[in-house]
Chains A and B, each alone.
Chain A
């Protein structure tokens, strides 16, 4: 069974600093990969998705993620953190032919003024 590991349940960065949220997947073949964000009192919102078209994926709000097959990673980055980025971020994977998403445990991002 495939799984997703998010390193760090809590990450704090200063406003303006680089945001790096880590995600590793276990899969024998490259799956479909997603990053979702949950702002306080809201549902999950899709940030970006990897579907094998390009290894560097750009998403909304200045976020991007790079698929690295050799490292089985799909880390999420943003060059400069903004206060509005404070939220919980989820990495998810879906295997071709199977609809269900498998989520990581989530990383809560705190932005320090």
Chain B
């Protein structure tokens, strides 16, 4: 069984540019989560999808961040325009149901110059 896949593994862009991160959850997992770890800080929740619906987006930092999950399969997280403080590692996780553990991808390391 393939795990959670994230693309790209690394992204380096300049301030003001746009970046889109992609997450492919484990096949059949309805729950998809995005987290972020800024350097030196804890891993923080961004949002949670159930299928294509946003269940909880309380952790989204601001309106420069847009997450989508059209069709309830893979998800994208777009940052537009990127700011310096957006640098960090973005993790995606998925689970089959609410009482099952979340399985994480390897993360996307985003660097804003």
Task: Please give the residue numbers on chain A whose beta carbons come within 8 Å of chain B beta carbons, in ascending order.
Answer: 34, 36, 41-46, 49, 51, 90, 92, 98-106
Residue of A with least CB distance to B102: A101
What is the number of residues of chain B that contact chain A, defined by CB distance less than 8 Å?
27
Interface residue from B6, B56, B104 paired with A99 (Cβ < 8 Å): B56
How many A-B residue contacts, CB cutoff 8 Å? 52
**Contact of A105 with B56 at beta-carbon distance under 8 Å, contacts A42-B106, A99-B48 already known:** no
Task: Please give the residue numbers on chain B whose beta carbons come within 8 Å of chain A beta carbons, in ascending order.
Answer: 3-4, 6, 31, 33, 35, 41-45, 48, 55-56, 58-59, 91, 93, 98-99, 101-107
Given contacts A43-B4, A101-B33, A101-B35, 20 further A-B contacts (CB under 8 A): A34-B101, A42-B106, A43-B3, A43-B104, A43-B105, A44-B43, A46-B101, A46-B103, A49-B101, A51-B99, A90-B43, A99-B33, A99-B48, A99-B55, A100-B56, A100-B58, A100-B59, A102-B45, A103-B35, A106-B43
Report yes or no: B101 in contact with A105, Cβ–Cβ below 8 A.
Answer: no
- Report chain B residues within 8 Å CB of A45: 104
A100 to B91: give the CA distance in the assembly, Å. 13
Q: Tell me the minimal C-beta distance from B59 to chain A in angstroms.
A: 7
